[in-house]
Amino acid sequence: MLRYLHVMPFVSAILLTIALTLPAGAADSATADRAGYLALARTGWIYELRAAMTRRDLSIPVHINGRDFAGSALCIVGERPDPQTLATLRGFSALARQVFGRPLPMRYAGPEAQLCGPRRTVVLRLYSGWPPNRALSADLDWLNATYDLGLPRGRDYAATSPGQAQTFFGRRGAATHILVQQGGEGTANDPLARSYFRSILLEEMFQSFTFGMDVLAFHRSPRFLSKLQEVPLNIHRLPWGSAAFMRALLRSNPQRLCAFDVFMMYAVAQAPVDQTTDPAFLDWIETRFDRLDAQARDTLADPRFSEVLDPECRAWSE
């Protein structure tokens, strides 16, 4: 099952995702790293798009470059960030500034997305408990009117997972809406909950700011190469936020961003390409591989980013 698929609601990636199984020892060899990184980059970034939402205005052009949201503001609506959420957001903001050379300003606007204003904004709605589907629909209606997205008017939307991100392309620019569940104050003394809520928020933030796609990995391993990788699961019957649900997701996916993910953030920030979904992006990465790898390694060694980075790229082990 594709969890947290990075979806453009009216333009979605082809659902036939290439499953990537890395050779044993890939994380320990410089040669294997290069091959594994390029394979992951090809699967996670070089994808084709097709129309997915009926009645959407198909005359609106779609342009995908991971740098597009660098320097934009993060507008938080719904619940105020709990301590774990705030720590994750601050860690990711510091990392984004390091990589893109621009700050990621954050502010809490209140209960409604329309309070964010029309500037370059990524809307992050936080909630606990049941998904706020009515508020989600209101957020998307406001984005539709503000950016002229061409979405059907009066449509109701519903959350399909505890964390989801949607990027829209309109006549007045692009906008991203992120909806993520948080645990609240009660997670402070619960390592499982802290890891889980950090993981789902970090995944959506990373994918939203790089346009990377999920990569299916059918071989379960305590060590991965990327936060994009995930073991397919069938957990529809488990309640969101239950201990069983949290453990299942944490075992299928790295808890924090990996060396490859930081590598790709630098690639997205620096590549002189028009779109980061074009094969030319992969060609540029191959020619700059050593430099990007050195930048990623230096960043992973910096203790300022320990909240959001894991050099070992581990899944939950308990």
pLDDT confidence of residue 268:
96
Q: Which of 24-28, 75-79, 212-216 has the highest mean pLDDT?
A: 75-79
Give me the mean pLDDT over the 158-162 stretch: 93
pLDDT confidence of residue 118:
77
pLDDT confidence of residue 185:
77
pLDDT confidence of residue 12:
34
Output the pTM of the full model: 0.88
pLDDT classification of 221: cutoffs 50, 70, 90: low
Instruction: Give how far the C-alpha of residue 15 lies from the chain's centroid of Cα atoms, to the nearest Å.
Output: 17
Which residue reads 């009660």 in tokens? 186
Q: Which residues contact 140 (CB under 8 A, 6 or more apart)?
A: 151, 155, 157, 166, 177
Single-letter residue type at 19: A
Cα gap 268→7, rounded to integer Å: 19
Q: Is the pLDDT of residue 119 over 80?
A: no
- Report in angstroms the alpha-carbon separations of 67 from 126, 143, 247: 24, 20, 33
Give me the mean pLDDT over the 26-48 stretch: 77
Cα gap 80→300, rounded to integer Å: 29
DSSP for 83-127 reads: HHHHHHHHHHHHHHHHHHSS---EEEEES-GGGG-SSSEEEEEEE
194 contacts 187 by C-beta, under 8 angstroms: yes
Give me the mean pLDDT over the 187-192 stretch: 87
Q: Which residues contact 301 (CB under 8 A, 6 or more apart)?
A: 311
pLDDT classification of 4: cutoffs 50, 70, 90: very low
pLDDT digits (tens, 9 = 90+) for 60-110: 888 888 888 777 889 999 999 999 999 999 999 999 999 999 999 999 999
pLDDT confidence of residue 140:
95
DSSP 304: G
pLDDT confidence of residue 14:
29
